[in-house]
């Protein structure tokens, strides 16, 4: 791990399961209900029919929201309007509060913050609204569907460094998926694998970033 000297490195946070958690089963519970399908059964059906392939097209910006909803509903056999699909599909997130407090602290300390997310137009619209207060601390949002590249491709990480105006070596990427951490390192960035909040604080300190003891739960 690089020990960063001043000036501060650019800190790049993944969104899903870092800044906020998500669960596709929440969407599938709502989508399947009119058809007598449990969320777990619908999600399993989507997985076995490889919905990830069309999701990746959507998250690369190669499909519109309407095209994605039509393809997804056809794939899993749901007869829904785009509006019905979009409302359920979007509502899958809840904030990771300790990370939200860390982000606010780092911004106050003068760190430049970038959000680097594999996402899509429906989810990005949802989370930018739902978590506006936390996301306001980020200097830039790099969203896969807008740049046309997904993690773990090098182009994604280089876009994050570029938008911050820094060399990759001056950037530290934080992601919950090991393959995305490896991708960041392969592109020349430093990277941390996010698992649990206390571990992340220790990993940040080891990288030379002074973070206080931020409680995992909100102080009373
Ligand atoms: Mg993630």
- The answer to whether 119 touches 143, Cβ cutoff 8 Å, is yes
> In the predicted model, what is the mean pLDDT of residues 6-11?
82
108-162 pLDDT, tens digit per residue, is 999 999 999 999 999 999 999 999 999 999 999 999 999 999 999 999 999 999 9
From ligand 1's centre to the CA of 34, what distance in Å? 30
d(CA 148, CA 157) in angstroms, rounded, equals 12
What distance in angstroms lies between residue 14's CA and the mean position of ligand 1's atoms? 6
Contact assessment for residue 121 and residue 156, using Cβ atoms and an 8 Å cutoff: no
Confidence at residue 8, expressed as pLDDT on a 0 to 100 scale: 85
Domain ranges for the chain? 10-21+94-206, 24-90
Neighbours of ion ligand 1 (CB under 5 A): 14, 16-17, 176
Peptide bond into 207 cis (omega under 30): no
With 80 as the cut, is the pLDDT of residue 219 above it?
no
How many angstroms separate the CA atoms of 6 and 52, rounded?
Answer: 41
What CATH number labels 10-21+94-206? 3.40.50.1000
Distance 19 CA to ligand 1 centre (A): 9
Q: 24-90 — its CATH code?
A: 1.10.150.240
Q: What is the CB-side half-sphere exposure of residue 97 using CA atoms within 13 A?
A: 5
pLDDT over 60 at 35, yes or no: yes
Question: Angle formed by the axes of helices 82-90 and 65-76, to 10°?
Answer: 90
Q: How many angstroms separate the alpha carbon of residue 194 from the centre of ligand 1?
A: 9
Cα end-to-end span (Å), the chain: 35
Residue 190 has pLDDT above 60, yes or no: yes
Q: Determine the distance separating the centroid of ligand 1 and the alpha carbon of 151, expressed in angstroms.
A: 10
């Amino acid at each position: 791990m690089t020990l960063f000297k001043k000036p501060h490195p650019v800190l790049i946070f993944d969104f899903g399961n870092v800044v906020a958690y998500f669960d596709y089963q929440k969407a599938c519970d709502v989508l399947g209900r009119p058809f007598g399908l449990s969320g777990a059964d619908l999600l399993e059906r989507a997985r076995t029919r490889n919905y990830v392939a069309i999701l990746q097209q959507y998250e690369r910006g190669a499909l519109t929201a309407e095209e994605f909803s039509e393809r997804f509903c056809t794939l899993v056999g749901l007869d829904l309007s785009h509006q019905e699909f979009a409302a359920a599909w979007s509502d899958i997130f809840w904030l990771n509060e300790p990370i939200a407090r860390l982000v606010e602290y780092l911004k106050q300390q003068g760190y430049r913050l970038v959000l680097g997310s594999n996402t899509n137009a429906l989810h990005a619209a949802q989370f930018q609204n739902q978590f506006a207060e936390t996301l306001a601390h980020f200097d830039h949002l790099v969203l896969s569907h807008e740049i046309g590249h997904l993690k773990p491709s090098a182009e994604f990480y280089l876009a994050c460094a570029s938008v911050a105006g820094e060399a990759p070596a001056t950037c530290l990427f934080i992601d919950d998926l090991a393959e995305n951490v490896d991708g960041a390192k392969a592109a020349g960035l430093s990277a941390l694998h996010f698992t649990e909040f206390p571990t992340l604080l220790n990993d940040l300190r080891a990288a030379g970033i002074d973070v206080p003891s931020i409680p995992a739960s909100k102080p009373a």
